[in-house]
Amino acid sequence: MEACPWGTNELKRLSVHIRDSTPPGTNHPSYADVMGWYNDLAARVQQEIAGLNWPPLLLDRPFEVSSRAKTIDTLRQKLLRDPSTPLPSVQDIAGVRFEAEMSLDEQDAVVTAICGMYNQDPSTVVRDMRTVDHSGYRAVHIWLRLPARVEVQVRTHLQGLWANTYEAAADVFGRGIRYNELPDDPEERTTIARLRELSTNSIASMERDRNEISTIDLTLGDLVRNGITDIPEEDVRRLDELRARYKGNEERLQTALVQLREFFSTLRDEKR
């Protein structure tokens, strides 16, 4: 990958102009040029990640890889929230997202594969937000160190569905809810608190079930492949119980989140 065409000091000066909404001087790169370069970088990483051999790991389940560069408005908000972090140090100017129906262990395996592809040390570039969430948001982020920083979000399909619903809520109740702020109105505060609990309690519990299903399924599959026919009945019963519970919970949760997202979108449109 080609090196960033601008120096650190040039980008730092540009970040001040973006933060303060002032036009950059003639000796500074333009916002459009910089974001265009970051967008190309994100698209390149998206293409490379999508090209990995995912079917064996995900058992042929579909996956989606997308990319984007931050808009100037969201970047300005970020620079205003943290003026000490200049543009070159912002982790997610170039962003890539990997989503799939997968267990927590499979999510870990995806993270390991992406880190290995770019020779990145997981202990220094991986941020796991599944046990310590961020305003209810749960995922695993990889902060790649390439010619510039690229953030790769690795999310299960439920984590992604919740995140999209919460983004729709932020359009109604204010972007601050993404940064652990709550609305002043008591009913709105309750709505956001319950939405966060859907992620930290309901989805987290379901994903633990999904992981146990995957573990038992793999264990029983190994027994069958090794010619062992005396399968432990308690494992079969547990697997059937978990599958039935997970399927029902997944269907109800997906329906609820889709309805909530549509509701928030309607409220947003009415406010305009």
Domain co-membership, 123 together with 149? yes
* pLDDT for 246: 95
Residues 191, 92 within the same domain: no
- Look at residue 171 in the predicted model and tell me its pLDDT: 92
With tokens 């695993």, the residue in question is 140
- From residue 120, alpha-carbon distances to 125, 127, 145, 201, 210 in Å are 7, 13, 8, 32, 28
Residue-wise pLDDT for 138-183, tens only, equals: 999 999 999 888 999 999 999 999 999 999 999 999 988 988 888 9
The answer, yes or no, to whether residue 256 has pLDDT greater than 90, is yes
The mean pLDDT value for 239-268 works out to: 94
**What's the pLDDT score for residue 2?**
76
- In a shared domain, residues 26 and 143: yes
Assess if residue 161 is contained within a domain.
Answer: no
Domain count, the chain: 2
What percent of the chain is predicted at pLDDT more than 90?
60
Do 207 and 234 share a structural domain?
Answer: yes
Write down the pLDDT at residue 163: 96
Domain co-membership, 95 together with 192: no
Q: In terms of domains, do 126 and 190 share one?
A: no
Last residue of a domain, one of 101, 130, 156: 156
133 occurs within a structural domain:
yes
Question: What's 58's domain CATH number?
Answer: 3.30.460.10
- Structural domain includes residue 42: yes
Give the C-alpha distances (Å, rounded to integers) separating 85 from 33, 164, 260, 267.
21, 26, 34, 34
Residues 26 and 151 reside in one and the same domain = yes
- Do both 72 and 149 map to the same domain? yes
76 falls within a domain:
yes
Predicted local confidence at residue 130, as pLDDT: 95
Mean pLDDT lowest among 1-15, 46-60, 110-124, 192-206: 1-15
Determine the pLDDT at residue 231: 80
**pLDDT of amino acid 177:** 93
2 lies in some domain:
no
Domain final residue pick, 127, 156, 185:
156
Higher-confidence position of 220 and 24: 220
113 and 147 housed in the same domain: yes
Are 19 and 115 contained in the same domain? yes
Partners of 98 in beta bridges: 65, 154
Is 84 a domain residue? yes
Q: Are residues 135 and 229 in the same domain?
A: no
Q: Which domain holds residue 87?
A: 8-156
Query: Is residue 48 very low, low, confident or very high in pLDDT (cuts 50, 70, 90)?
Result: very high
pLDDT in tens, 199-250: 999 999 999 999 999 999 988 888 878 888 788 889 889 999 999 999 999 9
Q: Same structural domain for residues 150 and 208?
A: no
pLDDT for the residue 259:
96
Kindly state whether residue 44 falls inside one of the protein's structural domains. Answer: yes
The mean predicted confidence, pLDDT, of the chain is 90
